[in-house]
Chains A and B, each alone.
Chain A
């Protein structure tokens, strides 16, 4: 029986947790006090590094290492919190922001202290008005209490934290697009180098971190790296938030330790299996930007490295399940519609290719595609992937390719040759 290990969501059900008083009652801002009074900024970074914390936005990059990319300079530095949460299937950051916003504020301040930033912006997607309100209320309280702003807790460390709403563009979850959008522009990803740690907001060093990542930082500093790395497993330390959705009896956001169960166990146990009782047809284990798993793949141990070895990724922690009642072609088409709609349009392969892919999948759905059309689809994916400014290309090439490969017989059954036979 899989049990949750609630750390970040431990007090999410407590209505008072949103308030400063309620947060403090459960140990809130102790980590910040400890860091400001007993630790040097480098110590905070070392602790996060030691904990093995990997980014929770989707890429899984070690957080401590990312912070170390910031050059030692007197230039103004920034923290940008990526609260754009738009990866299909993902609704976990919202749980923290709505129910325990101070946890994020504290983590943000810790990150700012570690890298020497004096201002942090929390870029919240515009479609999350509840998160925006909860964060703004929490920040009002925190400012009032001297926990945000000048000379925090009398330590000499100052940091402003502001909520900055997006306005409906998935691409703004891409870290350089987020920065460009924050500066007051269309959300265009940037060419790299330079990387944000060196040149980010207004050409200043900037660290972009996901909401859940920073929530983890709060707990790491409060309870120590050793405690954090004792949870989970090697390569996936700590706890992670997973959103299970789609054809499951018990959709929901669960906080779990990786490496203690397989994906199948997770879906059958906590997930409760499919509501229809039909077999699971496919699972997107980490959002829609990663390759799909079929039923035969589900016995993979559920942690970052194992899932990567099995050909996909934990990604943003969004697990979407579909059963035999739905066509894999329809699922692939729905996914490609998303990326075609969200492409920023800057570069040729994604701008033109994302919609071509959608049209080709639609043609398969309508049983108007031939076998060579499907071959063409795979070839076009090869022409797009790796040749763009940002990873949105990979985000649709990987899943679409995996659908064609893993559901070959279903695509075969849709072929025009079959329809007219």
Chain B
């Protein structure tokens, strides 16, 4: 079992104070853990998380598998989430997806050969009035065009 950084453990302990049960802090804690462990949950990271929270490892695994923002496989240096739901589709998201496939060689769930980013089509990201949009990690890019997409993605290399 590998240790988490003291900073992370301290943050988790602070989170625990907010809830009557430690388990409730899992989702906020798992965001921090995923960040510390290279952007995804390996079997070891799942075990470490389970040990820290004193829950069965399958409980943590079930959470990783349920929520779209947790990854069970390695990801690139960045995660690009392009919205595919109706408002974005109506304003060209399908074409942007096709462009990304052609220009960067990745479709949903795939990582670029140089490891720069993992591309995922996501369901409604809540920026419907500035569609189409994508999230790159925690940054948002709205009113996308092919040019804007290229500008953002090229900068990730």
Contacts and interface: CB of A to CB of B under 8 A. Distances in A.
A320 B86 contact: yes
Interface in B48-68: 53, 59, 62-63, 66-68
A144 B25 CA distance: 23
Contacts of A183: 21, 23-24
Nearest to A330: B89
Contact of B130 (A88, A247, A251, A322): A251
A34 interface: no
B126 A167 contact: no
A87 to B, nearest CB: 7
B63 A185 contact: yes
B91 interface: yes
Given A127-B135, A183-B23, A320 B128 contact: yes
A212 interface: no
B66 A246 contact: no
A126 interface: yes
B126 A335 contact: no
A184 B25 contact: yes
Contacts of A247: 90-91
Contacts of B30: 167
Interface in A113-127: 125-127
Contacts of A326: 90
Interface string A153-194: 000000010101111111000000000011111110000000
A168 to B, nearest CB: 3
Given A127-B126, A245-B129, A168 B90 contact: no
A227 interface: no
B69 interface: yes
Contacts of A71: none
B10 interface: no
B125 A127 contact: yes
Nearest to B27: A167
A32 interface: no
B24 A182 contact: yes
Interface stretch (A49-57, A89-97, A99-107, A261-269): A89-97
A128 interface: yes
Given A85-B126, A251-B129, A168 B67 contact: yes
Interface string A304-330: 000000000000001011100010000
B87 A126 contact: no
B114 interface: no
Interface residues on A, range: 35 or more
B26 A88 contact: no
A61 interface: no
A165 B24 contact: no
A86 B24 contact: no
Interface string B65-107: 0111110000000000100111101110000000000000000
Contact of B27 (A164, A243, A320, A322): A164
Contacts of A164: 27-28
Nearest to A181: B27
B18 to A, nearest CB: 5
B123 interface: yes
B31 interface: yes
Given A88-B86, A342-B123, A127 B21 contact: no
Contacts of A320: 86-87, 90, 128
A243 B66 contact: no
Contact of B24 (A160, A184, A331): A184
B87 A89 contact: yes
Given A91-B128, A94-B126, A167-B70, A246 B87 contact: yes
A66 to B, nearest CB: 23
B4 interface: no
- Residue in B20, B26, B63, B123 with the greatest tally of chain A CB atoms within 10 Å: B123
- Residue in B62, B66, B69 with the greatest tally of chain A CB atoms within 10 Å: B66
Nearest to B60: A184
A202 B21 contact: yes
Contact of A243 (B23, B31, B84, B129): B129
A334 B85 contact: yes
B140 interface: yes
Given A91-B128, A183-B24, A184-B24, A331 B86 contact: yes
B91 to A, nearest CB: 7
Interface in B17-53: 18, 20-28, 30-31, 53
B87 to A, nearest CB: 4
The 7 closest A-B pairs by CB, nearest first: A168-B68, A167-B67, A184-B23, A168-B69, A245-B87, A184-B26, A245-B128
21 contacts: A86-B126, A88-B85, A126-B27, A167-B68, A168-B70, A181-B27, A184-B23, A184-B63, A185-B23, A185-B63, A243-B129, A244-B129, A246-B86, A246-B131, A251-B87, A251-B130, A288-B86, A321-B90, A322-B86, A334-B84, A337-B84
Interface of B: 18, 20-28, 30-31, 53, 59, 62-63, 66-70, 81, 84-87, 89-91, 122-131, 135, 138, 140
